[in-house]
Amino acid sequence: MALMRAREAVMAEFRPILAAHDVTEQQWRVLRALVDEPGGLGVGQLAEATFLLGPSVSRIVAALQERGLVARAGVDHDGRRAVLTVTKAGMRLYESIAPASESAYQRVEDRFGAKQLDQLYRLLDDLTESQSNAPQSR
């Protein structure tokens, strides 16, 4: 809970920067994920990388495409899904927001310590993985 409160406090400071660039938190997460994967990602991969639901990612990608920030770069290796990448305009936007983003994440890390924060993220990853591997009831 302390991590969530600290993250929320930091995000409260970071949201005005996103708003000034007309970007939502979810759009920012998608842009960051695409920048981190220069070869591009499909919608399913973006959903996994951002912890967002697939339909939400599709809507976010559509909004980013309308603004010319994300483009379809082709199809994946089996030719079934579109691969998405950041455009030059998207990269310029990313580069203008990234320093504030890194500063925000650094403040959370400073408050909790890098080692403890890394352990918390690993725990969250383990929990996410165990939930996705759990049998689904119908």
Helix and strand numbers (H, E) in the chain are: 6, 2
Q: What was the pLDDT predicted at 13?
A: 79
Q: Which uninterrupted H or E stretch holds 70?
A: strand 70-75
In this predicted structure, the answer to whether residue 138 has a pLDDT above a threshold of 50 is no
Q: What was the pLDDT predicted at 65?
A: 94
13 three-state secondary structure? helix
In this predicted structure, the answer to whether residue 35 has a pLDDT above a threshold of 90 is yes
One-letter identity of residue 54: G
Q: What was the pLDDT predicted at 112?
A: 65
Determine contact, residues 21/69, Cβ cutoff 8 Å: no
CATH architecture of the domain 2-131 equals Orthogonal Bundle (1.10)
Higher pLDDT, 138 or 58: 58
pLDDT classification of 30: cutoffs 50, 70, 90: very high
Query: If you average pLDDT over each of 69-73, 111-115, 117-121, 132-136, which comes out highest?
Result: 69-73
Q: What was the pLDDT predicted at 14?
A: 83
What separation in angstroms does the CA of 89 have from each of 5, 85, 96, 104? 33, 11, 11, 23
In this predicted structure, the answer to whether residue 78 has a pLDDT above a threshold of 60 is no
If you search the block for the tokens 């690993």, which residue do you land on?
122
Supply the mean pLDDT for the chain.
Answer: 80
In this predicted structure, the answer to whether residue 44 has a pLDDT above a threshold of 60 is yes
DSSP labels for 18-61? Answer: HHHTT--HHHHHHHHHHHH-TT-B-HHHHHHHHT--HHHHHHHH
How many other CB atoms are there within 10 angstroms of residue 51's CB atom?
Answer: 11
